[in-house]
Structure 1
Amino acid sequence: MEMRHLRYFVALADCLSFTRAAERVHVTQSTLSHQIKQLEDELGQPLFERIGKKVVTTEAGELLRSFASRALKEVDQGVALLKPGAGNLTGRVRIGATHTFNIGLIPECVAQFLARHPTVRISVEELAAEVIAARLAAGELDLGISYRPQDPTGLWFEPLYNEEMVLVVSTGHPLAGRKRIRMVELHRQDLVLVSSSFSTRTMLDECFHACGAEPTVVAEMSTVAPMLALVARTMIGSIVAINAVPEAMAGLKVIPLESPTPVRTPGILWRLGESKPAAVQSFAVILRKTALSNSLRREGPG
């Protein structure tokens, strides 16, 4: 099936006249008839019937018509946006992001996006993962940046990359000289972690249980920044996503974890079955490229 088949089909379904449809798509009636026959043969059922001198759509033709019209409209809009002189994107992009991604990823993406599309308006809300899911489902956000929700009903999760979680300690901590550390070695170590209401904490608790370690959780916090500030001032360690540790923050040492290595998968949350405005799709393109680039930079060569 080719795009021209759909264009010819929609023209005939709209006009219900081979003469007018052929004029609309600038082909001869015989060419139009031949192309419609090709499409019907490929689908295995008739799309039109002749009743006397009139042409009507079959049930199959009527079903296909709405989908084909919508698909052609979106393709034409996309092509128009790529043409020189087509003008800037307009509209609004409503984003919900968890704290981790609001630290660096979202500001970087918004800066790139507004440099290319200054007439689009961006709104970003820092929300808990479950709130992002609920707001998306309610149509109050266009996309979310979070980890995979526990209840994805009505949503589609698009993975961006895999992200290791690491131990972070101050440069004066007894473990600061280690290149790697097994999770079992954190048994009875003082840690500050995210609160038990977060799915990340559930995953970390499962990792500790699997290796038989019981760290001493001396503090719980809901955001990463104060956790890292506490780590920098004390002999208390923390476990956070590697991308949440600012490269410029002094006084911290990042140590990879193993046996097991805690891994999270950040991604984009979308509503299922909904067409996305051009501005939202454009932002998603920048988000994908920036997230992947940042993750590769963190991993380093090899």
Structure 2
Amino acid sequence: MELRQIEYFMAVAAHQNFSRAAEHVHVSQPSLSVQIGGLERELGTRLFDRLGRKVVLTQAGELFHVHAERALRELDQAEQVVQELLGAKRGRLVVGALSTVNTYLIAPLVSRFKQRFPDIHLQVHAQASGDVVNGLLSNRLDIGICLLPLTHPQLTTVPLFEERLALVAPAGMHIATRRARMQDLARLPLVLMPVDYCLRKMVEAECAKAGVHPQVVLEMTSPEGILQAVAEGTGATILPELYVRSRLPGMDLQVIDLYDPTPRHAVGLAYLTKRHRGLAAEEFAAICQTTMQDLQSDPEQSKQNRPRKRTARQK
């Protein structure tokens, strides 16, 4: 088995098409097909089902994919360790970040990181907290920004900051005060994330403390979609305050502080305990902490780094 065969296999699995995969790895389609055929003969089973122009992984292919991906990541890491020993600042860093945190933190963080490490290939994936954890455990991510507490025995966490949740309502919804008790949520229609999302579980836990059963009228997985639904009058929602304030300009919304109790959760960095953390990962973690401190001391920075508002059609 050769390394190029594994790389070709991964390309076909990603593109689900031999022609596009061949273009991606810069070989002819016949050459790529020969290599995949040789790999299948060596393993004694088909790795792909050919469905016309589309190819999909067989059960054996899915199992092989898990280990092949891990092997390639280990090789990347080995190269990075050697390059660091030689004093080079090259390689790749793959980060998973909470979708809400990604909105206001990642832009200034990436800017600072690339100034220090212009030759590091950085990938940032905006994900749900559970997906970040799964990415770390499967070795697809080098470092994650996720919700805490996290007690998995294979992961080490570093607290980053505490994120306060706020009530967000349409500008036209009558709410008597700029502050509201958690008990007041009982009378409001709410748009929340699905029940298997960590943020939803936290909201329900805070509601339970106040003896409130939330009236959920709509569930959506996208925080941006939730805000759009709220702006259009579907109901109110509960989202991280920093995220909401980074999205407020251009949206017809009002933000109300919640108290008794004030809902909040911890956000932190996570990584595999037994995995080597290279110089790039160490520096990314340090820059992440200082960038977050700056954002908390000057919330206006989060507004300056917000993405442009997209239309409903673009979503």
Q: Tell me if both proteins adopt one fold, taking TM over 0.5 as the criterion.
A: yes
Matching of residues 135-284 of structure 1 within 5 Å: 135-148=135-148, 150-175=150-175, 178-234=177-233, 236-245=235-244, 246-284=247-285
Query: Over aligned residues, Cα RMSD in angstroms?
Result: 2.4
**Is the Cα contact below 8 Å between 1:155 and 1:270 reproduced in 2?**
yes
Identify the residue that residue 65 of structure 1 maps to in structure 2.
Answer: none
Query: Using the alignment, how far apart are the partners of 1:248 and 1:115 within structure 2?
Result: 29
**Is the Cα contact below 8 Å between 1:133 and 1:149 reproduced in 2?**
no
Query: Using the alignment, how far apart are the partners of 1:115 and 1:154 within structure 2?
Result: 32
Larger Rg: 1
Identify the residue that residue 101 of structure 1 maps to in structure 2.
Answer: 101
Q: TM-score, structure 2 length as denominator?
A: 0.63
Query: Using the alignment, how far apart are the partners of 1:112 and 1:105 within structure 2?
Result: 11
**Is the Cα contact below 8 Å between 1:148 and 1:266 reproduced in 2?**
yes
Residue 124 of structure 1 pairs with residue 139 of structure 2? no
Between 152-161 and 246-255, the greater mean CA deviation after superposition = 246-255
Q: Is the partner of 1:250 in helix, strand or coil?
A: coil
1:136 CA displacement: 1.2
**Is the Cα contact below 8 Å between 1:170 and 1:237 reproduced in 2?**
yes
Unaligned runs of 5+ in 2: 1-80, 302-315
1:90 CA displacement: 1.3
Query: Using the alignment, how far apart are the partners of 2:293 and 2:275 within structure 1?
Result: 25
Change (3 A) 1:235 1:222: closer
Query: Using the alignment, how far apart are the partners of 1:93 and 1:268 within structure 2?
Result: 14
Q: Percent identity?
A: 29
Query: Using the alignment, how far apart are the partners of 1:171 and 1:294 within structure 2?
Result: 26
1:235 CA displacement: 5.5
Unaligned runs of 5+ in 1: 1-73, 82-87
Query: Using the alignment, how far apart are the partners of 1:237 and 1:103 within structure 2?
Result: 20
Query: Using the alignment, how far apart are the partners of 2:248 and 2:236 within structure 1?
Result: 17
1:250 CA displacement: 2.7
Query: Using the alignment, how far apart are the partners of 1:170 and 1:296 within structure 2?
Result: 28
Change (3 A) 1:292 1:162: same
